[in-house]
Amino acid sequence: MYAHSSFPLWDLKGPFCFKVKFLNPPYPTLFPFTGLGGSLPSYAPLCPALCLQLFCLSVSLFVILPVYLSVCHSICCSVCQESLKGSVSGAMRTGLRSYTDVCDAVFAMEIGLRFLGKTSGVPKAPLLSYLTESLKMGPQISSSVAKVLGESRLEHSTFTWQLLTCWKSELMLSRGQDPFHRLPSEFQQKLSEEERRELRVFFSGTDIDILSLELHEILLLKTNIQTFSDQAYLPHWDIRSTLDNHLDKKRHPPLPGLDSLPEDITLDKGADMWRMAVEFRKR
């Protein structure tokens, strides 16, 4: 009944609402249509390019971050994940100075992660080839984005996404925009001057890059109380224990100097602390 490929079948479920059906394996690329005169549905091929365009449309129409906890978990279970080398991470930031390019790179990674979480892949396979060849996303990926993704492999997928989303927020901050404007108000509290003095001491003795990445990920994925009622990180939790547990769950080494982070600085001030960390790193 269906011809198969590695693309999804879309159903229209009301105005502006698409739902993708992931069939494993593989994904059908035929869609039903009604013939002239109201005859019984027939099936016509849905080309891969159109499949991808519809998928991109759905991603742009809806907030997709709330599903990334389960997506990232699926990827980690099927494709062992590793961090990028520091030099590669630095080159990625240097190579993507344009805010538009960073947004495009994040968008490409979000699509790639959604598919990778469903289909798995070879850890050492090039990430760029997966996006451009397996997912046929070549036309959507600029030369500058392709260049910075060229050093990443599928085993770096979640870290690459984490790095790019954090870099996007940093660029927003430099443009005078608030990267956390959608963060619940419970996490929007400000640091006191005394807490800022204590944090400067902590920042000088820790890995500020890892701190900014992990704290950003927590704020992005773990603070939507309504969405994650059973998984949410709560505003009254102290950031020191929260970071320690967060890194332990990811099987990452402890953050250097974490013991010097005051326990009375809580997650409700996490966004303000992240902004301060980004500014501190620029000095």
In the chain, pLDDT over 90 holds for what percent of residues? Answer: 57
Tell me the pLDDT tens digit for each residue of 94-126: 999 999 999 999 999 999 988 887 777 888 999
Q: What's residue 81's pLDDT? A: 76
Tell me the pLDDT tens digit for each residue of 135-159: 999 998 999 999 999 999 999 999 9
First to last CA, the chain: 62
Amino acid at 135: L
> Contact, 56 vs 64, CB < 8 A?
no
Q: What are the residue boundaries of the structural domains of the chain, listed by start? A: 4-60, 64-174, 185-281
> Contact, 175 vs 97, CB < 8 A?
no
> Contact, 46 vs 9, CB < 8 A?
yes
Residue 35 binned pLDDT confidence (cut-offs 50, 70, 90): very low
pTM of structure:
0.76
